[in-house]
Structures are given as structure tokens and as C-alpha cells.
Amino acid sequence: MSGVDPTFDLDGQPVALQPGDTILTAAARAGLDIPHLCWSEEVSGSASCRLCTVLADGRPVAACVTPAVAGQKVDCRTASLATQRLRLLQMLFVEGNHFCPGCEKSGNCVLQVQAERAGMTDLNFEVLNPERPVDASHPDVLFEPNRCILCQLCVRASDEIDGKRVFAIGGHGIATRLLIDSPSGRLGDSALSVDDRSAHICPVGALLPKRVGFAVPIGQRRFDTEDTRG
């Protein structure tokens, strides 16, 4: 065998791949960002948000769960995929109730920063305005289902890291929702502890540890830039 590592082509750049790599993990190791929401290296993939959709030899696939193949040509930064990402983000925004100025996750929110990076300036689609009651029953963690994007990260973290199986997915279609494993169906009498990984893995403001919302002021948060530091 030759000593040269196998690679695939991502937007014209060669990316080295290792056995077991997905397109997304290989790209991440090479420092190349493929936009994503529902993927985390800590847990298995759900392939639900589809933001990481790329064209692998012309075929649309979710980069987070698709094995990287040596010699493959992968396109991510094309005009049509940029539009596709924008539309998917707009769909997530109209599906829930996402009001960034009133959300304590603002500045730390992956949905928000992806929308910003995608150049999203409007919703494009009509808002669905769901009515989803907030669950504040847990002493240390707030569940705000209006902001849930059904990424399943909390489900997987609770299953795979915490070993508690606190969450599950229920319903179907547009009525799909996050279920909580407890007699009342509320977070307060579930086995969730604020120390659990699943209480912190939420990329948006749906699951939030209480009483820390503004401990880090707006302007000094994860995704704040020179422009937003004020």
C-alpha cells in the first residue's frame, strides 16, 4: 500500500479520512465546518435536522451519518445548498416560537448562529404558532418546548451518557414532540438532574439550567463577535 492517506474532496479541498469517519467528522478534524444542528461528537447521530446535507458525488446525503469514502467528491458550499440550508432554518423558525431577543440562550444558541451565518433575514414561510405549555416543574431545569427543534441530542445524551432514558420522541408529523419519562410527563418528577449531560446539551433554549440565564451577559457569549460585543 502507498503511504499516502486516503482523502476525499470537499469543495475542492482534499480531506484526510480515517476508518469509521463520516463526512462531517473527517471535515471537522480538518478544521472545515459543515453547518449542523443535531450532531454532537458526544452521542450517536439522528440525522434529523438535515442542515448538514451535502452532495456526495451529486447525491444529497446527511454528512453527519454518511461514511466518508476515499476519492469521493463532496460539495457543501454551493449556492443551491446555501439556499437549502436557509430554507431548513426558516422551517425550524416557523415551526416553533423562536424570539431571540427574549430568549436567555441568545448568543449561545446554535440555531441562532446558524441562521445568522446563513444570512437569514426573514422567515420566508408562514409561522405555525404552536401552543406548547412551558414545563417549569423541575427545580433546576426549565423545559421550553416552543424552542425545541427535535434534534434528539437530549434523548441520546440521557440514553448514552447519563444512562437514564429521561427523554423520548412522541407523536408524528408536525405534532412530533419531546416526551419526558415520568408519571406526570413533566420534568419535575423525572430522574433528570441538573448535573446530567442531557440538561446541558440542548443547542437551543429548550432545556435550560435555571438561574444561570444571564450569568454571562449578552455580548460575552459563545457566538458573540466583534460586531455584537457592543
**Residue selected from 84, 137, 193, 228 as contacting another protein according to rule CB under 8 A:** 84
Q: What is the 3-state secondary structure (H, E, C) of the chain?
A: CCCCCCEEEECCEEEECCCCCEHHHHHHHCCCCCCCCCCCCCCCCCCCCCCCEEEECCEEEECCCCECCCCCEEECCCHHHHHHHHHHHHHHHHHCCCCHHHCCCCCCCHHHHHHHHCCCCCCCCCCCCCCCCCECCCCCEEECHHHCCCCCHHHHHHHHHHCCCCEEEECCHHHCEEEECCCCCCHHHCCCCCCCHHHCCCCCCCEEECCCCCCCCCCCCCCCCCCCCC
In the bound state with another protein, the residue whose beta carbon lies nearer, of 45 and 107, is: 45
Stretch of 25-33, 49-57, 192-200, 221-229 contacting another protein, by CB under 8 A: 49-57
Query: Binding to another protein by residue 172, rule CB under 8 A?
Result: yes
In the bound state with another protein, the residue whose beta carbon lies nearer, of 104 and 201, is: 201
**Residue selected from 163, 174, 227, 230 as contacting another protein according to rule CB under 8 A:** 174
Query: Binding to another protein by residue 120, rule CB under 8 A?
Result: no
Stretch of 11-19, 85-93, 113-121, 192-200 contacting another protein, by CB under 8 A: 85-93
Query: Binding to another protein by residue 19, rule CB under 8 A?
Result: no
Query: Helix 79-95 to helix 110-117 angle, to the nearest 10 degrees?
Result: 140
**Residue selected from 7, 181, 209, 216 as contacting another protein according to rule CB under 8 A:** 181
**Residue selected from 70, 124, 219, 220 as contacting another protein according to rule CB under 8 A:** 124
Size of the residue set binding another protein (CB under 8 A): 45
Query: Binding to another protein by residue 46, rule CB under 8 A?
Result: yes
Class of residue 160 by CB neighbours under 10 A (exposed 0-12, middle 13-18, buried 19+): middle
Query: Binding to another protein by residue 60, rule CB under 8 A?
Result: yes
**Residue selected from 139, 170, 217, 219 as contacting another protein according to rule CB under 8 A:** 170
Cβ atoms of residues 197 and 183 within 8 Å: no
C-beta of 216: minimal distance to another protein in Å? Answer: 29
Where do contacts with another protein occur on this chain (CB under 8 A)?
45-51, 53, 60-62, 65, 67, 80, 84, 87-88, 91-92, 94-95, 124-126, 128, 149-150, 165-176, 179-183, 185
